[in-house]
Structures are given as C-alpha cells and as structure tokens.
Amino acid sequence: MFDLQDLYQEIIIDHSKRPRNFGPLEGANRHAEGDNPLCGDQIKVHLIVDGDTVRDVRFEGRGCAISTASASVMTDTIKGKPVAEVKALFEQFHRLVMGEEEPGSDVLEVDRLGAFAGVRDYPMRVKCATLCWHTMNAALEGQDDPISTE
Amino acid sequence: MNVATEHRPAPRLDLERIQADFPILSEQIYGKRLVFLDSAASAQKPRQVIDAERMVYEREYANIHRGVYYLSQRATDAFEAARETTRAFLNARDVREIVFLRGATEGVNLVAYSWGLDNLKAGDAIVLSTIEHHSNIVPWQLLRDRLGFEIRVAPVDEEGQIDMAAYRGLLDERVKLVAMTHCANSIGTVTPIREIARLAKEQGAVVLVDGAQAAPHLPIDVQEIGCDFYVFSGHKTYGPSGAGALYGRGELLDAMPPWQGGGEMITRVTFEKSRFHEVPHKFEAGTPNIAGTIALGVALDYITGLGHEAILAHEHDLLDYAMARLGEINSLRVIGTAREKAAIVSFTLGDIHPHDVGTILDREGIAVRVGHHCAQPTMDRFDLPATVRASFGIYNTREDVDALHDGLRKTLEIFA
Ligand SMILES: Cc1ncc(COP(=O)(O)O)c(C=O)c1O
C-alpha cells in the first residue's frame, strides 16, 4: 500500500502553501514558460545567470501542490549554484521521481529534494514535479518556445 | 429535468440488480470498493453489452453489406437492427437518418466538412455557446480558418445557464448554423434546446445538437427538439467506445456530399467517376465498428428497458443528495448551478488544486475527473484553471456520495 503521507509530506504541503521565490524577478536575463496541458497548469521561471552561476531565480504561475512545492524547493535549491551543478541536480531529481534512484543521496537530502521521492508511486503526477525543472532548464538553454510536459 | 408529476409513484431503479449487471463495480481499487464518479467521461458497461459484443465475435461475425453468405447476412441484420434501435432512441422519423460513426466528435466533424464546407462562407456566422466541449468548438475553428465565417458565442450566466437574451441578440440573417450542447459535460447544465432550436429556425439557421452528455440521462426526441443534426457517443450511454451515431434530417443528408470516400459508400466506381450510395451508407465509408455498433444497440435497449422516468428520478435524487452532502463542506464551491441540470457536480475545494484532490480521492477508490474537462472556455468563464467533477450514472448510490464526502474531508485534513 502506498501512503498518501509519502506523497504529501509536510515540507511539500508547506512549500505549496507558502511558495518561496514566488513572483517576477527584476533584472532577470533568462525566462521560460512551461505548460502541463493535462491539468492546465502554467509556470514561468525567471533566472539571473551571471557567468557560470545562477545568481537568482523566481517563479510565477498556478499549479497543484506538487508542482508549486517542487518549483519552490527547486528555486531555493539552485539559487547561487553553478550552472553545471544545477544541471546535474536536474538529472538526479528526474531519476529520483522516476524511481530510478533511491532517495538518501546527500545532495538530495540536504536540499530537501528527497521529499519528492514519493511521486514515483504516482506516475500520473511525475510531470507535476518535473515541470518546473524542465522549464528552468529551458530558460538556462535560452529556449523561447513554451515547454510542454506532453 | 422535469420528472413527470403523475399521481402514481415514480418508477424506481432496482439498484442492486443494476450494480450486479456491471462487473467492473466489484473491482477493488487499492483494496477499497470502487466508487466510480466519472461516467461523464465514459460510462461503465453492463454485462449485457459486454456479452453482446462477445456474442457477435463468437457466433455471427463477418463483414457487413457485402458477403452473400449466411454469417455476413446475420451480421448485417444485427447491424441494421441497431440502426432501428438508435432511430427509436432518438425518435427520428426514418432509419435512413441514422449514420453510424465513432462518436460525437466524428459526428460534428462530418457535419462540419460535409454540410459546412458546402454551406458556409465568408460573411456568414455560426453560433456556439461558452459551455461547449472542445469537440464542438475546434472543428468549427478549423473550418472558419479555411472559409472565413464568423464564430459567435452565446454566453452563460453565473449559474452556467445560457443567457437567452444574449443568444437572441446573436441571431440575425447572417447566422447559418447554431451548434449547441444539450447538456454541458463540464458543469451539467441542461440547455433549453427546444427553444434554442426554435429561435435558430426562425432565422433559417441549421441546428446541430451535441447530445453526448444528454443521451445517457435524458429522453431524446429529435423531432420535438426540431434540430437538423444530433450527435452522441455510445461509450457514454453504457455502450462500447468507438461506436456512436449522427442523426441528420433526411433532406439535409440527401443533399450533402459524402465526407470520407471508400468502400461501402459507393454503388459504382470507375476512374472517371464514382456513384454514391444512398444515405446513410453514403456517410459510412469503410468497414465500421461492427460488433461495437451492434452492442451499442443493446446499450440503448438497456437504458430504454430501465425507463427514462426512473433514470431521471434516480439521478435527480443523487444530484440533490450530492448538493446537500457537499454543501456541508464550507470551503467547497460548486460551479454550475443551473435549474435544469444533469447529475454532474463540478466544484473546487478551498484553494486545493483539483489535481491533488483527485489523487487523494483515487487512493480512497474514488474515481473523479479533474482538470478542464475538454471545456477550457467554460473554465475561463468562471476564471478557474480546473475543477473536480463528480458525475453520476444509473449504478451510483447515495453511499457513493457519502464516500466522496468523506474523501473530501480527508483531503482537507491532509492540507490542513
Ligand atoms: C458534451 C460532449 N460533447 C462531445 C464529446 C466528445 O465525445 P467523444 O469523445 O465520444 O467523441 C464529449 C465527451 O467528453 C462531451 O462530453
């Protein structure tokens, strides 16, 4: 049996109700939009990339608890990190929610990304957790087309 | 929905028997009883329908309208019998007016590309409503982009009812078509379709009715409605997916060109020219869903056998009970409170996203639809990205409503 509490952990509920880094970002030099047509969710990610570093990041949009919390935790996590490390985290996060990697790795625990491990038992919700990451990645790569999870 | 108010007790559905007819209802979901509240997306199937489809394959399957042998004749007879059943279900005048297709979407597209391509042009207008399913919007937009006519939209009020004064205001001599839903899948509104059709006819417009949601709930009489086209899908009327029908008024169908070309729809083919079959076969190119269509006839018989009066009474009771039980939850807001309404309840729960509500209910064995329900303009009208939708059918009970209520309480706890 899956326990709903595994999916809706306290930290996820908390970040979904009080998203960090929410709103427009003055001076942002990278932007991307993402859509989840399944639920109509939309997200915008704004970045200030300074050389090789993500100096600041904020997001806007409405979505479910999983997608809002994921964006909130993601922005907290990647702020101030080198672009290469952010990309590696994206890969790792993706493997985590796809069930390809066990939670417990140091980086994920420290940055609370591990809280999203429960998503693996809810295949229809994986897209909710990864939309912000895909969108952020698109912003990093300077893609202009809206990202879709479909 | 006006339930007949005669002086005898309203006929009742034998719920135990109906539930026993639907094998899937005894499935366990995560170890819990299945509470299926998504019949508006697609209804479950009774054993009679499942058996009918299997029977065709086991006993009488062959291609139709072409073999000279016994089995082909039997399959053809069964297929044509389903056409008569469908005619009676819609109270069409003539069995020739029933075209078998995959469903409502294909019906709208047939009308758009056969009738529309010939009869609509720049300078014309058509009228839709805000609460249409995408399948009664997008085909018209595709055609509009090619032909350049105007699409007008009849708005709905706060309750989700068509604003009839505004609708009247949209009708003028440029309007050649009114295409409107009989029942809105997203919020349950039953439209005053007779009046809508009457006003359209006064302007000389052709009327198409999307009956995909009405067919499982309401008695349908295309002559009384006064429409020219009526489409519905078998999978929502407890029948198979991929089988449905278009009713078209005889004179119109006769005058319309074929839509798809192929076998079955011709009488003579040479490379210079082909001669087309009579209606309805003119519109049935290729091998159809033979077994599914035969089983669709059985599904319609199943509904008719239960009786529309009893179905209406039952679903009305469920709707009233659901509105009362859900009304106990303070943060719950029902979207769509039309006076005439099918047993479909769309709602939001505080600021909890419908997607999260759906996931939590799912773990309780409760299947609801969350999202925009293929009706994004309706969501926009109420300024929402999505809702939770519980839709009820003949097999649902008050216990199902209670389970939904409890599941929503649990959802609130998790998000407390
Ligand atoms: C009102 C309405 N119209 C049309 C359709 C399309 O039906 P189908 O997908 O069976 O073609 C639906 C199905 O959801 C519907 O609810």
Q: For chain A, which residues make up each domain, given as ranges? A: 4-148
Q: Do A13 and B415 touch (CB under 8 A)?
A: yes
> Which pLDDT score is estimated for B304?
97
> Which pLDDT score is estimated for B1?
47
- Tokens representing residue B408 in the block: 């929503």
- Cα–Cα distance between A85 and B379 in angstroms, integer? 40
Instruction: List pLDDT tens digits, range B284-342.
Output: 999 999 999 999 999 999 999 999 999 999 999 999 999 999 999 999 999 999 999 99
Q: What is the greatest pairwise CA distance in chain B? A: 73
Nearest residue, CB atoms, A38 vs list B363, B371, B415: B371
> Which pLDDT score is estimated for A1?
42
Strand partners, A43: A34
Residues 6+ apart with CB under 8 A from A123: none
A18 interface with B at CB cutoff 8 Å: no
Peptide bond just before B192 cis, omega within 30 deg: no
Q: How far is B384 from chain A (nearest CA, A)?
A: 10
Nearest chain B residue to A124, by CA:
B359
> Which pLDDT score is estimated for B404?
98
- Cα–Cα distance between B181 and B367 in angstroms, integer? 25
Check whether A141 has a pLDDT greater than 60. Answer: yes
Q: Across residues B164-179, what is the average pLDDT?
A: 98
Report which DSSP code applies to B113: I
Nearest residue, CB atoms, A40 vs list B360, B363, B385: B385
- Give me chain A's average pLDDT, please: 87
Which pLDDT band holds residue A145 (cuts at 50, 70, 90)? low
Closest residue (by CA) to atom 12 of ligand 1? B212
Q: Which of A14-28, A101-115, B196-210 has the lowest mean pLDDT?
A: A101-115
Nearest residue, CB atoms, B353 vs list A1, A63, A124: A63
A88 interface with B at CB cutoff 8 Å: no
Which pLDDT band holds residue A40 (cuts at 50, 70, 90)? low
> Which pLDDT score is estimated for B263?
81
Atom of ligand 1 nearest to the CA of B236: 10
On whether the CB atoms of residues B244 and B233 are closer than 8 A, the answer is yes
Domains within chain B, CATH numbers bracketed: 15-48+307-414 (3.90.1150.10), 50-305 (3.40.640.10)
Q: Across residues B264-273, what is the average pLDDT?
A: 83
Chain B residues whose C-beta sits inside 8 Å of any chain A C-beta: 30-31, 352-356, 359-360, 363, 370-372, 376, 379, 385-386, 414-415
Q: CATH: 3.40.50.300, 3.40.630.30, 3.40.50.720, 3.90.1010.10. Which one for A4-148?
A: 3.90.1010.10
A150 interface with B at CB cutoff 8 Å: no
Residues of B in Cβ contact (< 8 Å) with A5: 414
Which pLDDT band holds residue B149 (cuts at 50, 70, 90)? very high
Check whether B183 has a pLDDT greater than 60. Answer: yes
What residues flank ligand 1, with Cβ below 6 Å?
Answer: B 103-105, 133, 135-136, 181, 185, 210, 212-213, 233, 235, 374
Strand partners, B229: B208, B248
Q: What percent of chain B has pLDDT over 90?
A: 87
Predicted ipTM of the assembly: 0.84
Q: Do B360 and A8 touch (CB under 8 A)?
A: yes
Which pLDDT band holds residue B6 (cuts at 50, 70, 90)? low
A38 interface with B at CB cutoff 8 Å: yes
A91, A80, A76, A84: which is closest to A134 by C-alpha? A91
On whether the CB atoms of residues B415 and B351 are closer than 8 A, the answer is no
Instruction: List pLDDT tens digits, range B45-89.
Output: 999 999 999 999 999 999 998 778 889 999 999 999 999 999 999
Of B108, B374, B404, B408, the active-site residue reads B374
Provide DSSP, B20-71: HH-GGGG-EETTEE-EE-BTTT-----HHHHHHHHHIIIII---SSS--SHH
Instruction: List pLDDT tens digits, range B124-144.
Output: 999 999 999 999 999 999 999
- Give me chain B's average pLDDT, please: 95
Instruction: List pLDDT tens digits, range A2-12.
Output: 577 778 888 99
Residues of A in Cβ contact (< 8 Å) with B352: 65
Atom of ligand 1 nearest to the CA of B105: 11
Four-CA torsion B393, B397, B403, B409, nearest 10 degrees: 80
Which pLDDT band holds residue A147 (cuts at 50, 70, 90)? low
Nearest residue, CB atoms, A128 vs list B30, B355, B414: B355
Q: Do B30 and A2 touch (CB under 8 A)?
A: yes
> Which pLDDT score is estimated for A149?
56
Q: Any catalytic annotation for residue B374? A: yes
Closest residue (by CA) to atom 11 of ligand 1? B105
